[in-house]
Amino acid sequence: MKYVDEFRDPVRAGVLLKEIEALTAQIMAGRDRPVVIMEVCGGHTHSIFRYGIEKMLPPEIEFAHGPGCPVCVLPMGRVDDCVELAMKPEVIFTTFGDAMRVPGSRLSLLGAKAEGADVRMVYSPLDALALARANPDREVVFFGLGFETTMPSTALTILQAQAEGIGNFSLFCNHITIIPTIKAILDSPDMGIDGFLGPGHVSMVIGTDPYDFIARDYHRPLVVAGFEPLDVLHSVWMVLRQMAEGRAEIENQYARIVPRYGNEASLAAVTEVFELREFFEWRGLGSIDHSGVQIREAYAAWDAERKFAVASPSIPDPKACQCGEVLKGAIKPWQCKLFGRSCTPETPMGALMVSSEGACAAYYQYGGIDAVPEPAQ
């Protein structure tokens, strides 16, 4: 298939759905609980809701919405660091748009902007570097966040800043890695996940080999999936086929984009600029060893954490906020007591309602908010 409409063909979807129903019936003959498939990437979550995929599938198949939304897992203390940096009079603080409204303990970046901070939305780190060139008397800080998908562009921007000798540019690094995150979920004592839809964009950079441990050590199938409706349905079928055949392997449905060994140039830039942190705190998941990266000593001149000595306090989410449970797949978004009531896209209590990849935002937009039951009194 070559064109988008081919990946949305209802006839092909119908064929896949019939095969999925047959495989589900075969699997359910030997079990008494639903088949739980975690889509790791927030982009898949939005595809599932946008195209009504969850409602097409047999009721015995459930999706667990994973932690593959980098904005969603950003801890509140790091947001407070962003606000502190942004409020410095000499700083122009730059960020992607979906991080603007993530709540800190007192303010979001949008709130800081309203109080006079020079916060600007950019579309790439190179936009921030251009601001540094144009404003040599100001310190331009870029809020770097995201999984391996966005790490290469940030790394290449640091290399460009070094090559040009631009000293008034720095990175507040909050990049995170996908593999330790999935391992932390698999090691969770209440883990009930039967298989995974692997993240397509991350895998475009790292390849499929890093997931081998999931099948080898945890005996769970993972299928790296694309984002169109037929991609998702095909990937679900591939996971179910493995289960029905008693296999646990790493398969690549998104082979038109994802190479087995990843993108060599991207990985080289990431390795040159970044190194693993000893640990990094995740919203809702706690501290996960070697799950984040930091700038290497050779590029310390472009490290905002060294330049400005940020505090990075550990601040818990509001007690009623259940983002952590949603991120681990333990509950559905609508099962949170705040969902659609005190927590909406206009008044978010947690990051999952803010981000364009957040599970709560996806369910609120596409999932039938009017059908959400009132919590028990």
DSSP state letters, 254-266: TTTT--TT--HHH
38-48+65-214+258-360: CATH architecture: 3-Layer(aba) Sandwich (3.40)
Contact (Cβ atoms closer than 8 angstroms) between residue 221 and residue 203: no
Q: Residue 15 corresponds to which amino acid?
A: V
Cα separation, 14 vs 336, whole angstroms: 33
Per-residue confidence (pLDDT) for residue 118, from 0 to 100: 98
Residue 355's pLDDT is 65
| CB neighbourhood size of 292 (10 A) | 22
pLDDT, residue 345, reads 75
Smallest CA-to-CA distance from 357 within 322, 327, 318 is with: 327
Q: Write the pLDDT tens digit of every residue in 268-327.
A: 999 999 999 998 888 767 788 888 999 999 999 999 999 998 876 766 666 777 777 777
Q: With a cut of 50, which residues of the chain have pLDDT below it?
A: 370-377
CA distance readout (Å), 258 to 38, 207, 216, 263? 19, 6, 21, 9
Residue 172 and residue 141 in contact, taking contact as beta carbons nearer than 8 Å: yes
DSSP state of 111: H
Q: pLDDT at position 370, please? A: 47
| Per-residue pLDDT, 1 | 64
**pLDDT for residue 137:** 97
- Domain positions in the chain: 38-48+65-214+258-360
pTM equals 0.86
Q: Would you say the C-alpha torsion 92, 95, 98, 101 has a positive or negative sign? A: negative
Q: Residue 63: its pLDDT value, please?
A: 92
Query: 311, 84 in Cβ contact below 8 A?
Result: yes
On the 0-12 / 13-18 / 19+ scale of CB atoms within 10 A, 376 is exposed
